[in-house]
Amino acid sequence: MADGRYAYGLPVDLTEVARPDGSMGPWHPGFDLYELTNLATTLRNAAFVLVAALSVMRDSELQEIARGSVVEHYSAPAVASTLVKGRTGRPRKHWWISEPVAEAITVAESVSPHAHRVFTTMTPGAVNDELDGGDMVDSFIALVNAQSAWSGLEAIPKGTVRPHMFRRTMAMRTDQSPVPRSPWACSSSTSPPALWPTGPPADTRPLTRLGRSISKTLSTPPGSAA
């Protein structure tokens, strides 16, 4: 209480992190049913930002990702979606992706209440299940900055960020890379990646388990057995 922090909710052990003020402590103040609902939305938004940043996909193409869309294409991991802009007939297309991107899609799929869509509203049975990619990015940035005192994450500088900016940045990094088909080109849809990022990818499997656990909790009626 002395430093303005207090915990609440379910008695769970959370990973301790180093905070901006130099202290150590759990990365979150705690979880109740309301906060679990918020966390499911946070996981979806974080997954959307990561996939948008590293896949070279448009906002519309990201939102067309369906369950089971992470596949192998020419012996490399890829995500299948629908090409919307400038094409008639909505053709199917593959984007090569890195392992963290594949895992982020799996995380989003684990918390999605929709029968088919991965990035969708968290309200089951909503009439309109489409989302605004810019709103998801804004929500993610606002949450990271609001909870940095707990999470230990660095604050994200103020400014407008939109999904198409990620696409342009990735295209620029790929074009400027001195190595043909370098790690920055792993998400290029023009040729399969010959070189993956050095070192093991970040282990996001705990996030997948967390997402599935949240989804199960939110879908279990109060008073019933889990």
Report percent pLDDT > 70 for the chain: 69
DSSP string, 153-202: PPPPPSS---HHHHHHHHHHHHHH-SSTT-GGGTT-SSS--S-PPSSPPP
pLDDT tens, position by position, 21-75? 889 988 888 888 788 888 899 999 999 999 999 888 999 999 999 999 999 888 8
- pLDDT of 77 above 80: yes
Q: How far apart, in whole angstroms, are the C-alpha atoms of residue 198 and residue 212?
A: 29
Q: How far apart are the C-alpha atoms of 126 and 136, rounded to whole Å?
A: 17
Percent of the chain with pLDDT over 90: 30
Average pLDDT (100-127) is 89
Query: What's the first-to-final CA gap in the chain, in angstroms?
Result: 34
Task: Identify whether the C-beta of residue 27 lies closer than 8 Å to the C-beta of residue 16.
Answer: yes
Ordered by where they begin, the domains of the chain are: 30-218 (1.10.443)
pLDDT tens for each residue of 168-216: 887 777 666 665 544 444 544 444 444 433 333 444 454 555 555 545 5
Rg of the chain over all Cα atoms, to the nearest angstrom? 19
In tens, the pLDDT along 114-167 reads: 999 999 998 877 767 778 999 999 999 999 999 888 888 888 998 899 998 988
More confident residue, 85 or 112: 112
How much is the pLDDT for 167?
A: 84
> Measured in whole angstroms, how far is the alpha carbon of residue 187 from the centre of its chain?
16
What's the rounded Cα separation, in Å, for the pair 172 and 148? 30
Give mean pLDDT, residues 97-113: 92
Selected residue with higher pLDDT from 65 and 222: 65
Q: What is the pLDDT of residue 127?
A: 62
From residue 92, alpha-carbon distances to 8, 61, 78, 106, 199 in Å are 46, 10, 13, 20, 32
Token pair 């088919």: residue: 116
Q: What residues have CB less than 8 Å from 3, skipping those under 6 apart?
A: 21, 23
Do the beta carbons of residue 174 and residue 184 sit within 8 Å? Answer: yes
